[in-house]
A and B are shown apart, each in its own frame.
Chain A
Amino acid sequence: MMGQTQYFDPLPIRDIPVDAVYHRLKYRSEITSLSEKQRAEIKAAIEEARNLLSMKGALRRLRSQVSEGHYVVLETGDVLKSDKLALFLEGCLEVLLLAATAGGQITTEIGRLMDKGELARAAIFDAVASETTDAALDWLMKYVNQIIRREGKTLMDKRYSPGYGDLGLENQVIFHRLLHLDRIGVNVSSRFILIPEKSVTAVTGITEGTEKGRSNWV
């Protein structure tokens, strides 16, 4: 796994994270009340959304070092500029770059539903796609942890994505290039937006042991 990009096409994520989908839609189990008919409709919509997902993923392990407290320098020579990321990865000699996508079909369908004014279904589809893409990153991290455990290593249990904290969105270009995301059908626009929309990249650190006290996640 060292240095090479590994692809998952398909990414065998087990289940739609239904609880997370409901939570994202502001469902609160002790309070929110649903009729049987509504419950059945929502379940059917989630299932329909699931059938539109085409989950794929990529990951790559790279040596890294933090420089001047502001930069994370990768073995490829690429530099990620972010104070918070640098603090987060201090002490890590390697990073893991990750990406996941739900594919383009579901984004197209969400757009179509919004154009038709079917916002309820669009919101459900959007929640399914977003939560499953996020869950795909969780899956990739669990997968890597299985493998690096034998080296006495573990991943940090948080991750950073371009566009959040002070890690600029322009870094998507670096992720896209280093992971060759076109291999899984993901491109990056001139405005650094990943296409299809329900795609996400992230970086986390590989540590010796489980120094997991860090909570610098933003």
Chain B
Amino acid sequence: MGIRNRFQKLLKGKVLILDGAMGTELQKRGLPTGVSPEVWCLEHPEILTSIHRSYIEAGAQAIYTCTFGGNRLKLAEYGLSAVKEINEKLAALARKAAGREVIVLGDLGPTGRFIEPFGEIPFEEAVAVFKEQAEGLLKGGVDGFVIETMMDIQEARAALIAVKELGDHITLVTMTYESDGRTLNGTDPISALITLQALGADAVGCNCSAGPAEMVPWITKMKPYATVPLVAKPNAGLPRMEAGHTVFDMEAEAFASFAPHLVEAGANILGGCCGTTPAHIASLKGKLRNAEPRPPWRKALGAVSSHRSFFVFEEHPTLTVIGERINPTGKKELQAALREGSMGLIRQMAKEQEEQGARLLDVNVGMPGIDEVSTLRRAVLTLSTSTTLPLVLDSPNVEAIEHALRVYPGRAIINSISGEREKLARLLPVVAKYGAMFILLPITDGGVPQKKEERIAVIRSVFREARRYGFAKDDIVVDGLVLTVAAEQDAVRETLDTIAWCHEHFRVKTVLGISNVSFGLPERRWINAAFIAMAQREGLDLAIINPASPEVMAVQRAADVLLAKDRGAVVYLSHFSGAPKRAQETALSSLHPEERVKACILEGERESIETAISASLERGTNPHDLVNNVMIPAIVEVGERYSRREFFLPQLLASAETMKKGLAYLEPFLVESAGERALKGTIIMATVQGDIHDIGKNIVALMLRNHGFNVLDLGKDVPAEKIIEAIRKAQPQVVGLSALMTTTMVMMKEVISAARNAGLSTPFLLGGAVVSPAYARELGAYYAKDGVEAVKVVEKLISSDKKHE
């Protein structure tokens, strides 16, 4: 019986039992630290064999080879390079221990590096690394592979592609998730499942990092979307110290007690990871004797993914917007950027479209004068790190599609595959290899079919061909074919009828490139908006549009409400009603001029302050009264709100900047009316020597200036001598010192001592994250925790100083 049949038979109505931990078992038997476990096992084959045998005797139906770190990059850390030989020998030992009854899975663990675009290792190098290891394992007699403990979806993909390119081998893939349910790279279990099962994994799941209890919700989340069996290989809890030895805190029975929950959640394959022992596996087997696992109920899934998110079409009855803007046609700036090889504009376009409501992004870089293959590949890698939206790869160039699909760390849609014979023959196997979905474009070598019936014939024909490669209807989206209404007015009806047929009869998702319909006409947005609503009435599922078009976006949202796709108008209301407004927010223009000045300062409206002040002055308000009775009370109120945490730092600073701008605008009027504004005093500010943190000091300086103080800012990393010299020269009322580190705050003592030794009695005000009131008192200084408090302390110091005068 072939291995694939054996595998499926083992899963029929039963849970497949894997082995438990190898690393911790080797440690118990003397594996020293700092030594390659793989090589140590080759030096102690009897130990390795006994561990394999003990798991088999405990009930494991599949064992992993001891090759977790057997790839080139990991072995190089120990100065080893005989990758194939090491893997072959370890596989052979497992094979011998397993006999013919137990499945042997070649274990491919992580390299410890991250793969482009998330790290520096080129994708093809990663594939080559895993291929080399897998070749050795195959030679040693493994039945299949397990790709495990993966933190990087791209690395998991590289390993899976490597294995699949060596043949049709059974491959399990398990990722390792942090306590928040995502990998270190941010991939969630469902996105990983969609990507890996589409790419050809025979089972997908999770291992390590967590105990069985933590894995139940992850398996539960994955199950509804799984087209393959699910794997759970948890740790025996967390490691702890006991009498000088490492133990895991979950004993065998406790570990196994979670097995029924994992099966109920949807796991079909179970084993144990770090800390588990043959006893754990035996208990697991006992607990699962009568377990009835749920096989995957889906054969296919209409879903796409990025490395951080996923989109399942059946869960979104409203229209799905595919952002169309990443397309150089008619866009000179994008054309120039692509010619230069710059990806900044593409990144920006992706972000903007995401904010404007696109759920997927169409990526097209086709234009003369560039290498489309390398450009599309770069665009895909760039977008993988700058947007979470899944991508639609748009190109007629088969090679460009292939290179882009190979490196895309998710499941994409290809735009498009048509009935053109040669392209169909070349593209279908490529798209099938990488597990992508595709847009079916019903055109042929003969051109664009005019009538609905002709298009239907092409759709059926292409789908028949696609089925030979394993595609199901869930994997395709039919393009209804949009022609320009200005040239072919009757064609619109054919397009809409094609959409209706796909929706009602063929039962497949549909898409339209909406803006094609209005080409050549003025005010295209109205044609586009009307067309999209009409198409939605016929059952359109996806639309390639510009999400920045408010008319089209508004109409499509309205149509979803009218067609009862947006139940309760939830999406519509959420978009148009916005978040609840903050109480007391009033339009500035409706306020009395002095109130307007106050509101500008309270709200941090830097752009409006000058106009507000001007309006107030025009009404005859005395500028000094404006400062003393309106602006200063306003900034004081800002400070009080900040102290109560009703405002936070950016609001405080925006208000302070507005105040500063307002005072600067008022300055000539103040001088004109009653001479220069009297300053309340002079403060010297400095960050002490050795410390370069100064943003806190700058905030205090701004607040003090707002309140009418003259501030001499000496900057950062200021030696004591320079501060003393400045005190002598400027005769300030207060000196403010700032330090952010415990090792630099000691310089404050030096400065104060130097001042006192020089006969200077100026009070010092200290601040900074590590400074405390007690420390300040110890140095005979004052303390302020922030700019608001600093103003209060300085005002108090100066007013009490004046009393003594």
Give the B-binding residues of A (Cβ under 8 A).
1-2, 4, 6-10, 12, 14-15, 22, 25-28, 31-36, 38-39, 42, 45, 47, 110, 114, 117-120, 122-124, 126-127, 139, 142-143, 146-147, 149-154, 162-166, 168-169, 191-193, 197, 207-211, 218
**A119 and B702 contact, CB distance less than 8 A:** yes
Give which listed residue, A2, A14, A152, A207, contacts B27 with CB less than 8 A: A152
**A169 and B743 contact, CB distance less than 8 A:** yes
Given A12-B184, A166-B742, 8 more A-B residue pairs with CB atoms under 8 Å apart are A10-B118, A12-B114, A26-B645, A28-B645, A31-B646, A38-B604, A152-B23, A152-B275
Min distance, Cβ A124 to any Cβ of chain B, angstroms: 6
Of all chain A residues, the one with the shortest Cβ separation from B717 is: A191
- Residues of chain A within 8 A (CB-CB) of B660 are 117
Give the complex CA separation of A68 and B183 in angstroms. Answer: 41
**A154 and B119 contact, CB distance less than 8 A:** no
What 0/1 readout, one digit per residue, does chain B (601-627) give for beta carbons within 8 Å of chain A?
001100000000000000000000000
Give the complex CA separation of A80 and B246 in angstroms. Answer: 28
Complex A-B: 12 CB contacts under 8 Å:
A8-B119, A12-B185, A22-B648, A28-B645, A32-B647, A117-B657, A119-B656, A123-B649, A153-B246, A164-B741, A193-B717, A208-B241
B699 at the binding interface (Cβ < 8 Å): yes
**A209 and B648 contact, CB distance less than 8 A:** no
**A33 and B646 contact, CB distance less than 8 A:** yes
- Residues of chain B within 8 A (CB-CB) of A39 are 579
**B645 and A42 contact, CB distance less than 8 A:** no
Chain A interface: which of B51-59, B435-443, B526-534, B690-698? B690-698
Of all chain A residues, the one with the shortest Cβ separation from B119 is: A12
B120 at the binding interface (Cβ < 8 Å): yes
B178 at the binding interface (Cβ < 8 Å): yes
B444 at the binding interface (Cβ < 8 Å): no
Give the complex CA separation of A147 and B184 in angstroms. Answer: 12
- Residues of chain A within 8 A (CB-CB) of B585 are 35
B668 at the binding interface (Cβ < 8 Å): no
Min distance, Cβ A205 to any Cβ of chain B, angstroms: 13
Of all chain B residues, the one with the shortest Cβ separation from A154 is: B239
**B114 and A151 contact, CB distance less than 8 A:** no
**A169 and B741 contact, CB distance less than 8 A:** yes
**B699 and A123 contact, CB distance less than 8 A:** yes
- Residues of chain B within 8 A (CB-CB) of A9 are 120
Contact residues, B376-405 vs A (CB, 8 A): 385
B49 at the binding interface (Cβ < 8 Å): no
**B579 and A36 contact, CB distance less than 8 A:** yes
A146-B151 CB under 8 A given contacts A14-B185, A163-B742: yes
Q: How many residues of chain B get a CB closer than 8 Å to chain A's CBs?
A: 74
**A211 and B241 contact, CB distance less than 8 A:** yes
A163-B209 CB under 8 A given contacts A120-B653, A120-B657, A191-B717: no
Give the complex CA separation of A163 and B641 in angstroms. Answer: 34
Give which listed residue, B235, B245, B603, contacts A35 with CB less than 8 A: B603
**A209 and B208 contact, CB distance less than 8 A:** no
**A169 and B690 contact, CB distance less than 8 A:** yes
A25-B151 CB under 8 A given contacts A120-B654, A193-B690, A193-B692: no
**B186 and A15 contact, CB distance less than 8 A:** yes
Give the complex CA separation of A163 and B769 in angstroms. Answer: 13
Give the complex CA separation of A211 and B243 in angstroms. Answer: 12
- Residues of chain A within 8 A (CB-CB) of B238 are 210
B24 at the binding interface (Cβ < 8 Å): yes
Give the complex CA separation of A9 and B692 in angstroms. Answer: 26
Give which listed residue, B235, B583, B646, B742, contacts A32 with CB less than 8 A: B646
A32-B247 CB under 8 A given contacts A119-B657, A120-B604, A163-B744: no
A209-B651 CB under 8 A given contacts A110-B695, A164-B742: no
**B742 and A149 contact, CB distance less than 8 A:** no
B5 at the binding interface (Cβ < 8 Å): no
B802 at the binding interface (Cβ < 8 Å): no
Give which listed residue, B68, B184, B702, contacts A146 with CB less than 8 A: B184
Give the complex CA separation of A121 and B603 in angstroms. Answer: 15
**A8 and B695 contact, CB distance less than 8 A:** no
What 0/1 readout, one digit per residue, does chain B (670-699) give for beta carbons within 8 Å of chain A?
000000000000000000011011110011
Give the complex CA separation of A117 and B663 in angstroms. Answer: 14
A149-B119 CB under 8 A given contacts A123-B650, A164-B742: no
**A143 and B184 contact, CB distance less than 8 A:** yes
**B695 and A126 contact, CB distance less than 8 A:** yes
**B698 and A119 contact, CB distance less than 8 A:** yes
**B651 and A165 contact, CB distance less than 8 A:** no
Of all chain A residues, the one with the shortest Cβ separation from B741 is: A163
**A163 and B743 contact, CB distance less than 8 A:** yes
A26-B690 CB under 8 A given contacts A10-B118, A142-B178: no
Of all chain A residues, the one with the shortest Cβ separation from B692 is: A193
- Residues of chain B within 8 A (CB-CB) of A192 are 690
Q: Which 10 A-B pairs have the closest CB atoms?
A: A209-B241, A152-B246, A120-B653, A14-B186, A12-B118, A163-B741, A27-B648, A25-B649, A150-B23, A28-B645
